[in-house]
Amino acid sequence: MTLRILAIDDSLTIRTLLRQAVENAGFACATANDGKDGVEMFSEVDPDVVITDINMPRLDGFGVIEAIRTGTHNTRVPILVLSTESGEALKARARAAGATGWLVKPFEDLQLIAILRRVTGYAGPGHSERGQA
């Protein structure tokens, strides 16, 4: 099994970068253009981790977090906020809304993957320590 990531960002560039990073790690990636699409896709994709931008049209990242946390489907999914912002107030707001973690753009692929593994506890394919299993 592999991780499924739902990446929500209105920037095609960021979506492409996320998709590349995630797929290079052997994970599956679905992407959504904005918060509304992201929430709609959430139950369908049923991701293991959601990565969401904050500033998006139609529904922003806080809205995404709230919609997932108050929804009916897998409300405990880890949700990572990926933003260029790093202000404490925004972070506190994200945490209050139910965000699991906060990533600052730009990101490096390996570190992103490490974080995905970390928030999910996933040690799947390609994991260097799997020899123990």
Partner 1 sequence: MSMQSIRDTFFEECEDLLEALAEGLARMETGEADSECLNAVFRAVHSIKGGAGAFALSDLVAFAHRFETVLDEIRSDRLDLSDEVMHVLLRSADHLADQVEAAREERSIDEEVTAAFLVNLGTCLGDAGFEAPAADEDFGFSAITLDFGASPGLPAFELPDLGFAGPEFPVTDHPRPDLSHPDPRTSGSGATAAPALADLTPDKKTSAPRHRIRFIPWPQFYSNGHDPLVLITSLAAPGELEIRPDLSSLPEFAEFDPAKPCLAWDILVASHLPEATVEAHFEFVRGLCELSVAPEITPAPAPENPAVALPWPAPLPEPLVEPLTIQSRAPEPEQVVISPPAGPPPDAVIETSALPPEKDTPRDATGEGAGALLRRRLPKSEDDAEGRGPKPTLRVDLERVDRLINAVGELIINQAMIEQSVTDLSLPADTEIISHTEDYRLLARDLQEAVMAIRAQPVKPLFQRMSRIVREAAEATGKPAHLVTIGESTEVDKTVVERLADPLTHMIRNAVDHGLESAAARVAAGKDPEGTIRLSAAHRSGSVIITISDDGGGLDRNRILAKAISRGLVAEGAELSDAEIDNLLFLPGFSTAEKISNLSGRGVGLDVVKNAVGALGGRIAISSTLGSGSEFTISLPLTLAVMDGMVISVAGQTMVIPIASVIETIRPTAADLHLLGTSDRLLSIRGRFLPMIDVAECLGFGRRDPAQASLALLVETDAQAHCALMVDAVLDQRQVVIKGLDSNYGAIPGVSAATVLGDGQIALILDTEALTSNMSGLINGRNGANYLPPAAGATAAPASQSFQPLAARAQALPQPQTGAPHAIH
Site for partner 1 in 74-113 (CB under 8 A): 74-79, 84-88, 91-92, 94-95, 98-108, 110-112
What beta strand segments (E) does 2-120 contain? 4-8, 28-32, 49-52, 79-83, 101-104
Output phi, psi for 38, to 5 deg: -60, -45
Q: Which of 35, 39, 42, 45 binds partner 1 (CB under 8 A)?
A: 45
Which of 62, 117 has the CB closer to partner 1?
117
Q: Which of 29, 39, 59, 67 binds partner 1 (CB under 8 A)?
A: 29
Q: Enter the tokens of residue 90.
A: 């925004």
Q: What is the C-alpha to C-alpha distance for residues 77 and 131, in angstroms, rounded to an integer?
A: 28
Q: Enter the tokens of residue 103.
A: 């990533």
As measured in angstroms, the least distance from the Cβ of 42 to partner 1 is 12
Query: Applying CB under 8 A, does 30 fall inside the site for partner 1?
Result: yes
Query: Applying CB under 8 A, does 33 fall inside the site for partner 1?
Result: yes
As measured in angstroms, the least distance from the Cβ of 67 to partner 1 is 14
As measured in angstroms, the least distance from the Cβ of 4 to partner 1 is 7
Q: What is the C-alpha to C-alpha distance for residues 51 and 65, in angstroms, rounded to an integer?
A: 10
